[in-house]
Chains A and B, each alone.
Chain A
Amino acid sequence: MRIRSSVFACFCLILEVLGIALFLRGFFPVPIKSSFSSKSKLSDVPPEPFTGVSLNSSKVPDALFKRVVIVLIDALREDFVFGPNGRKYMPYIRHLVERGSTYSFVAKARPPTVTMPRIKALTTGSIPGFIDVVMNLNSPALLEDNLIWQAKAAGKRMVFYGDDTWVKLFPKHFMEYDGTTSFFVSDYTEVDNNVTRHLDSTLKRDDWDILILHYLGLDHIGHISGPHSSLIQPKLMEMDDILKKIHGSLILKEAEGALPYLLVLCGDHGMSETGSHGGSSEHEVNTPLVLISPAFKKKVGMEKPSTVEQVDLTPTLALGLGLPISQNSVGRLIQPVVDEASLRDQLRFLHLNGHQLSYLLKDSMPAYEKEEGYEQFRVAEKSHGNWVKLVVEGNTSEVLTNMGKKVFKQYLEALRAMSEALSKQLGKYDIYSMVVGMVLLLLLLLLAMPEALSSASEVDLPVSSALLSLPFYLLCLLLSSVHVLVCTSAESSCYFCSLSWGLVFGAVALSSALLCILVSMAKKYFASSRCGGWSLSELDILLLAGTAGHTLSLSASSFVEEEHQVWYFLLNTLCLVVFQDVCRKYFRERRANFGSLEDEDYLLPSNEGDAVASPLSDLGVTDAGSEKWLALATPPLTLACCRLLRSLNQTGVQWAHLPDLGHWLNSFEHKMVLSLFAALSLALIYFLVQRRCSWVSKIALALGLLGVYSYRAAVGNVVFPWQRGGGNMSKGTVEARFVYVFVLGILFTGSKDLLRSQVITADARLKSRGLWEIYSGMVLLVALLFRAHNLPVLCCCLLVQTLMAQFIWKKLHYDAAQTTIMHYWFGQAFFYFQGNSNSIATVDISVGFVGLESYIEAPAFFLTALSTYAGPLLWAAHLVCYLSSEKRSSVAVGHGCYCLALLRSVPAAAYVVLVTALRYHLFIWSVFSPKLLYESMHTLLTTAICLFFTTMEQSRRP
């Protein structure tokens, strides 16, 4: 089957988007949330089960502890306390663990073993969904139902000292706090002294109920020199002394008859053998949990601590303090803690915990009734009711005690089953879906690769022969059986397994067909390709090496954070190489004016240059001499533009704090300058865009750009010359809608021209005008959406496009592939020139409100995406215009589309593989996953553009 290469490219991209979607679904498991947006209240607490007439109050059993002190030591590994070295490291705690009234456990943390998600897990009892971590980078405060909120609502007074992540997560929750930043990893004494210095005065006072201490020093030591360093012991001994001091003062304060205290020692995550954390190795997930209280039984010797989940601490503390369990908690009560209470209270605690879990189960699973734990809970609740009835009636026989014990066991069983069912869905990568998505991507990439290098307009796909061959059926069978095998043996839930059989079989058939086609094409390719080595020019080498180098650079977190630097660097080099090409064309071929090369052109023309350069080019007044000089001036001018834009918006992470021109322009004193700049840019934009439009669109464009300025004036970004001192700021809805009308008008004229050229007359001029009008409609829309200080970016973008198209790409006869790669590079660089970065925080959400009275999801999303990806989109649109206006090659559009698709899929596929390999990296949530979202969005947009390309190419053909 022969299909056109652009159609093939679209097909590949669409499938790739599906593959990425599947991968994302596996990479970000959907978080379990209860459907109530409110938080649990004391009044919602269910009554004690009772068969017969309910006369029981629904009150929570009284608190078990009066005061709670939580000492959280960052990166405290389990063997630091319970291991053979524990006696040396923490002698006091070890003594308590062996002889004191304590309970000790190994608490398992879930990956990512990074501080912030772990604190969230400890306080909410849920395992934070990964997509949550990514999406909540903007709003640091924890909005979910959590223990700290519940404690505050119940009037408990809390004091916090330590890592300032807590202060950010729970603003205004603490009566007294002092946050310490963990920014300076090399400091491991000062961070802890900052916490300890408050301790003496706080312990003397009586005005608090909960004291939380978070020590960072141990984690810093781990990062510096690992878990076996000599610094570990003194640090742990220091911690031990602190715990001894706290314990001593708690004992002193204890009064006869009052409720006892509770001292909790825990770690948020462990430490790997190299001293880092984030992954899921044994040492990273196993943390100690020691509960100390006079209410507990005295120990007689060292026992092997049993294993609990880290999240189990939340319901335990909540019940111990007499608070409602937070809604999304998946933990279950650590049962030994309530051992000393009466059987009735114990059952009541378990019932409360079970009730909360069963509600969460109901909300998060459609088939909750079939769950084993849910049924068990129902049964246990019923027999609990019967038991309570008997107790109320005054029965005190042996049978009753036995029955109570049975209910107790039933409850424990039910809790375990429900908690397991819930946490199965949480916090785990769905590796199978990820792998399927990844394989699909890689297959498509391999399939598309060789075709892009040839510039044939059609691709010969041996579809029918592949579909009829034996290997295809064998592969289908094999893959289906693998699917069945994986799905039946999978422990955790898996999205791909939950798909319907039709879809799964479609995917299986598709991937086996792709594999067969790939093999037969590869065979054909290797059989036919006997052509000798290609001769690559410097430019080709740079383009290929740059693309490959950028793809490789994505594996380093710093390069993902500072990706803009890579693009700026590559773009600069590109301009220099193009410059060298131009010089060679004009000096090497005609050996004229040699000597003046250095002095004339290397000294860059100042900015007045562009005012001179552009009108000449627009009017087409170019005799040979001036054309040569303009061509020579173009790359340096582009370089100068890029340097200017680069200092307009500082982005990235390391140098983002440096002052930039954007801030300078946005400050109040420079409003006049900003207005001047904006007006100038808008004028220049009009000048650059109007030259190829019909007169109707010219007028619409002019009015639209005026509308843009008045919108900015209405919003208050710029000043109107004739409206002085009018301080009333509006939302500018009227002005924005005024511009939208013109945008739609221009787009309508453009599409009308396109349709006419396609249906009625095959007029190439009409078509290129139509395309240009669509392009100018986009420019107008982007001008409206861009912030005032970003208008120069748009203006420079248009200027560079005009100059490059006029003097470089046409004159030097670059082919479609080279032009496409250059457009892509420019597009990427302009993405960052706008001030974007690879973190979610730089997405400008306010754009979604332009011209809208209130938030409406669909247009807001569309506008935000458009303004964020304005750079790549404008360059791609320009590519369509440029390639279809070219006369010499009719396949240029198709080939360009193909290259664009490939350029997008190479980094996307490579990145997906990288993310899979680095899924336990320390920065996976903060650096790599936002970039993954950006990559997916970019691929989606590129698919849309390629579809547009394909329709354009369609119309070219008779």
Chain B
Amino acid sequence: MWDEEIRHMASSHAIMASGVFMATVVPAVLVPGFSVYGTHLLWQYSVAGVVAVVNISLFWLLGVSPPTKKHTITYKVSRLVRSCLYLLLSCLFFHTVVVLYGAPLLESALETFSLAVLLTSLTTLRCVCVLGPNVQAWIRVLSRHGAMSVWDTSLQMVVGCSVVGAWLGAFPIPLDWDRPWQVWPVSCSLGGVIGYLTGLVVAPTWIHWHRKHLTYKSK
């Protein structure tokens, strides 16, 4: 039914995944002493930056986001400002949640905040790109049975997988293996990114598999 959209999705997801891959490999070549564990903050920001750039440009090119009603420049600016505000709030929100989960409050605040930035780039940014700065729509899509297009379904999956990945990533921390990836927040951000990649793969596959049974309320 939505063969073309599925193809678009698959190819865009492939680009995003390769973006994450490049964000890991290219600095390793260019920056001396770069490693995912050793210079973890750098890796986090490079992945977050690349994911942000790739997401924004791809969704802008594909034109998935809902058409704007007004074309005035002030309206566009206000949308942009609102998007930025939401992204910032989402960073703060993730930071708070992570602290509530037991991250040290002051000690490694920078690491915690970078994790929040990474998670924001993996989840909220996609929401902004697909749905626009519209919290109402976000809540609709992210609750059950709220998807209204294949892009909404893929959004659900990618966001869910990333968050669950980061959640699962916290489990190895208490183990006494003394590995470099057990240091806060390496395992969580690795889990988040792996979850994100899984989501990217799973979403088009699942939609392709279930394309006969998928029905959306209004499309």
Contacts and interface: CB of A to CB of B under 8 A. Distances in A.
Interface string A641-665: 0110011000010100000000000
B69 to A, nearest CB: 17
A706 interface: no
B167 A565 contact: no
B175 interface: yes
Given A576-B97, A643-B100, A556 B135 contact: no
A855 interface: no
A642 B100 contact: yes
B174 A568 contact: no
A182 to B, nearest CB: 15
Given A573-B167, A594-B139, A558 B96 contact: no
B139 A602 contact: no
Nearest to B94: A602
Contact of A559 (B139, B167, B174): B174
Given A558-B176, A561-B176, A602-B89, 6 more contacts: A594-B136, A594-B139, A639-B100, A647-B105, A652-B174, A654-B176
A352 B147 CA distance: 87
A129 B181 CA distance: 40
B174 A643 contact: no
Given A558-B175, A598-B135, A572 B143 contact: no
A588 B139 contact: yes
Interface in B75-113: 86, 89, 92-93, 96-97, 99-102, 105
A597 to B, nearest CB: 6
Given A569-B102, A640-B100, A643-B99, A587 B139 contact: yes
A599 B176 contact: no
Interface string A572-615: 11001000000110011001001101110011100000000000
A561 B135 CA distance: 42
A360 B101 CA distance: 56
A604 B102 contact: no
B170 interface: yes
B161 to A, nearest CB: 15
18 contacts: A557-B176, A558-B174, A558-B176, A561-B174, A562-B174, A565-B102, A565-B174, A569-B101, A569-B102, A572-B101, A588-B143, A595-B135, A595-B136, A598-B86, A598-B93, A642-B100, A643-B99, A643-B100
Interface in A31-59: none
Contacts of B92: 603
A557 B96 CA distance: 30
A652 B99 CA distance: 19
A597 B175 contact: no
State the majority secondary structure of interface residues on B: helix
Contacts of B167: 573
Interface in B175-198: 175-176
Contacts of A584: 143
Q: Which of A556, A558, A642 has the most CB of B within 10 A?
A: A558
Nearest to A559: B174
A569 B170 contact: yes
Contacts of B93: 598, 602
Nearest to B89: A598
Nearest to B93: A602
Nearest to A587: B139
B102 A568 contact: yes
Contacts of A642: 100
Contacts, number: 58
Interface string A821-853: 000000000000000000000000000000000
Contact of B175 (A556, A587, A639, A646): A556
Nearest to B173: A565
A562, A576, A594, A599: most-surrounded residue (chain B CB, <10 A): A594
A-B complex: 9 closest residue pairs judged by Cβ atoms = A562-B174, A594-B136, A558-B175, A558-B176, A639-B100, A602-B93, A643-B100, A565-B174, A572-B101
Range of interface residues on B (Cβ < 8 Å): 20 to 34
A643 B102 contact: yes
Contacts of B135: 594-595, 597-598
A646 B143 CA distance: 31
B100 A572 contact: yes
A2 B100 CA distance: 47
Interface string B148-175: 0000000000000000000100100111
Contacts of A599: 89
Nearest to A556: B175
A38 to B, nearest CB: 42
Contacts of A604: 96
Nearest to B146: A588
B167 to A, nearest CB: 7
A591 B174 CA distance: 42
Interface string A616-656: 00000000000000000000000110110011000010100
Q: Considering residues B93, B96, B97, B170, which has the most beta carbons from chain A within 10 angstroms of its beta carbon?
A: B96
Contacts of B136: 591, 594-595
A116 to B, nearest CB: 19
A807 B139 CA distance: 22
B80 to A, nearest CB: 18
Contacts of A594: 135-136, 139
Interface in A400-420: none
A559 B100 contact: no
A559 B170 contact: no
A654 B174 CA distance: 8
B175 A602 contact: no
Nearest to B86: A598
Nearest to B175: A558
A576 B92 CA distance: 16
Contacts of B139: 583, 587-588, 594, 597
Contact of B96 (A587, A591, A602, A652): A602
A642 B101 CA distance: 9
Contacts of A598: 86, 89, 93, 135
Nearest to A602: B93
Nearest to A553: B171
Nearest to B137: A594
Nearest to B90: A598
A415 B139 CA distance: 81
Interface in A717-757: none
B51 to A, nearest CB: 22
A591 B167 CA distance: 30
A603 B89 CA distance: 9
Contacts of B96: 602-604
Contacts of B99: 643
Contacts of A565: 102, 173-174
Nearest to A596: B135
Nearest to A643: B100
A573 B102 CA distance: 12
A654 B136 CA distance: 43
